[in-house]
Amino acid sequence: MRRILLYRLRIYRWTATASAIALLCSFLIGNDTLAQRRGGNDLGPEARQIIDNMSRDERREFRVLSRSERRAFIEKLLGNQSKNRSGKQQDVPRVDGIENKSVTVAHGVADLEGFIPADGISDEVRMMVGKNGRQNRAGAVAIQKARGAIETGLAPKFIGDGNCPEIDSEKWAIDYSHKRPWPAIHKGIDIPQPRGTPVRTVADGTVVGKFENEDNRKGIEVMLRHGPDQTGLPFWTYSQYTHLAEMSPLPIGATVKIGEEIGKTSNTGKRGRRVRRDALHFAILYSARPEWSNDGQFVAPKEGYWMDPNAFYKVDPPYDSQSLAKLPDDKKKVPVPYMKADGSFGPTDTKRIWPYKCD
């Protein structure tokens, strides 16, 4: 009897060991066979690219889905990418743990001035704005720095000693690696204000991006495009407003006037261990080229660069961060125009203002 029991015990241990080894091997080769074995490879190279671009956590959540759910998710994403290229409205499915790629795109986006398909944007610029950087975050940060996301030392000096909401400690291009489990920098400035405070458009422009970002740190986001004639600057600029309380009712393609309300202050977006205060994350991109694209995740200007948002208010060049960083200290204060509490501007003929009203 003992021999029989020992024999059965050995068989059980061998079976358990073999199962564990098979499970480990399956995990180790998951990156190479995930698309083929989990509902993706038979859909073509675009499906494989979607899966390859997933982070480790996203893949883990993807594996939890049934095969039919995985296939349905990939097919939905592929269908929405096709609709996005044709400028139709899209509604990308949400899977817990996988970054939400939803965006409201108005019909006819392809007819907007300067719009080009996403494949007209270089891989470098796509990594600069945050796309395709998951596989090499350190490389993405290096590209972002090379394309303007470096500290310059600039600071706002509000014209006429205006009492305006100030940038807090979350300044332009500071290192964010201590807040992330990977290399990162802060590609914008944070301006705290009480929840519900209206956020103002910084110049005349056009709505070119609206993103829910439900599983993204940016939260609700709106992006505007400004032509040289609208800002007085010698290039095209793109203003980004994130952490908004709710999505703007303005459709993509809508024209906005300087000082118009674009949203309300909040702290939407995925948060880490820290409690985040209500604040606007404000950023500026620019390019000497008029072309841009919206691929459903990001707005990217062709041959674009990051700009210190303080530099957006400079009257004279330089505007590039590398040159700004070399300016003497007495040239680091930037006179900033603004909208007054009564709705007038200071100065009255300004084409650019701070994103909040000032006293």
- pLDDT, tens digit (0-9, with 9 covering 90-100), for 93-108: 333 333 333 333 334 5
Same domain, 41 and 142: no
pLDDT > 70 in the chain, percent: 66
Q: Is position 237 within any domain?
A: yes
Q: Is 165 left (phi over 0), alpha (psi -120 to 50) or beta?
A: beta
| Residue 170 counted as domain residue | yes
38 occurs within a structural domain: yes
- Residue 62, domain extent: 18-85
pLDDT band at 271 (very low <50, low <70, confident <90, very high): low
Judge if 256 and 325 occupy the same domain. Answer: yes
Give CA–CA dist 264/194, Å, rounded.
10
* In a domain? residue 90: no
User: 132 and 188, same structural domain?
Assistant: yes
CA distance 225 to 92: 24
Report yes or no on 345 lying in a domain. yes
For residues 118-143, average pLDDT: 84
Please report the DSSP string for 248-263 in residue order.
Answer: -SPPTT-EE-TT-EEE
Co-location of 251 and 311 in the same domain: yes
Confidence band for 9, pLDDT divided at 50, 70 and 90: very low
Task: Give the distance, in angstroms, between the CA of residue 45 and the centroid of all CA atoms in the same chain.
Answer: 25
> 70, 51 in Cβ contact below 8 A?
no
Pick left, alpha or beta for residue 269 (phi over 0 → left; psi -120 to 50 → alpha; otherwise beta).
left
Does residue 95 lie in a domain region? Answer: no
Pairwise CA distance, residues 283 & 34, whole Å: 37
170 with 232, same domain: the answer is yes
Q: How far apart are CA 109 and CA 89, in angstroms?
A: 9
- Give the C-alpha separation, 35 to 29, whole Å: 11
CATH of the domain at 136: 2.70.70.10
Q: Does 123 lie in the same domain as 76?
A: no
pLDDT at 213: 83
What integer pLDDT is reported at residue 223 of this predicted model?
Answer: 97
Strand pairing report for 155-158 and 333-336: parallel
Residue 96 located in a structural domain: no
Going by pLDDT thresholds of 50, 70 and 90, the confidence category of residue 313 is very high
Instruction: Please answer whether residues 105 and 81 qualify as being in contact, where contact means their C-beta atoms are separated by less than 8 angstroms.
Output: no
Are 39 and 131 in the same domain? no
**CB contact burial 266-279 (16+ within 10 A = b; e otherwise):** bbbbeeeeeebebb
Flag whether pLDDT at 122 surpasses 60.
yes
From the DSSP assignment, how many helices (H) and strands (E) are in the chain?
Answer: 9, 16
198 pLDDT tier (thresholds 50, 70, 90): very high
Furthest CA-CA distance within the chain: 99
Q: Do 169 and 259 belong to one domain?
A: yes
- What's the confidence (pLDDT) of residue 102? 38
Q: What integer is the mean pLDDT of 244-248? A: 95
- How many residues belong to the chain? 359
Facing residues of 99 across strands? none
> Domain count of the chain?
2
- Scan for tokens 């829910």, then name that residue: 212
Q: Are 180 and 87 contacting, i.e. CB atoms less than 8 angstroms apart?
A: no
More confident residue, 184 or 191: 191
Q: Quick check: is 153 in a domain?
A: yes
59 and 120 in a single domain? The answer is: no
| β-sheet bridge partners, residue 211 | 103, 221
- Calpha distance 130→187 (Å, rounded): 10
| Neighbour tally for 336: CB within 10 Å | 23
Question: Which residues face 336 on adjacent strands?
Answer: 158
One domain, residues 263 and 213: yes
Average pLDDT over residues 147-165: 95
pLDDT in tens, 28-64: 444 444 444 444 445 566 666 666 666 555 555 566 5
Bigger pLDDT: 213 vs 228: 228
Query: How large a percentage of the chain has pLDDT more than 90?
Result: 53
> Using a CB cutoff of 8 Å and minimum separation of 24, what contacts does 316-319 make?
317/234, 319/233, 319/235, 319/286
- Tokens 């883990």 -> residue: 60
Asked if 39 and 48 touch (Cβ cutoff 8 Å), the reply is no
Domain match, 259 and 345 both: yes
> Checking DSSP bridges between strand 338-340 and strand 357-358, what pairing results, if any?
parallel
- Of the three residues 70, 85, 100, the one that is the final residue of a domain is 85
pLDDT at 259 (0 to 100): 98
Mean pLDDT of the chain: 79
Of 69, 85, 101, the position where a domain reaches its end is 85
Nearest residue to 146 via CA among 310, 284, 320: 320
Report DSSP letters for 197-263, one per residue. Answer: PEEE-SSSEEEEEEE--TTSTT-EEEEEEE-HHHHSSSSEEEEEEEEESS--SPPTT-EE-TT-EEE
Quick one: pLDDT at residue 314?
98
Report which secondary-structure segment, H or E, holds 29. none
Highest mean pLDDT among 59-73, 257-271, 340-354: 340-354
Domain boundary among 85, 117, 133: 85
- Which of the residue ranges 167-171, 218-222, 274-278 has the most confident prediction, judged by mean pLDDT? 218-222
**How far is it, in rounded angstroms, from Cα 297 to Cα 103?**
7
pTM of the model: 0.71
Nearest 5°: CA angle at 339, between 166 and 342?
120
120 and 71 assigned to the same domain: no
**Stretch 218-242: mean pLDDT, rounded?**
96
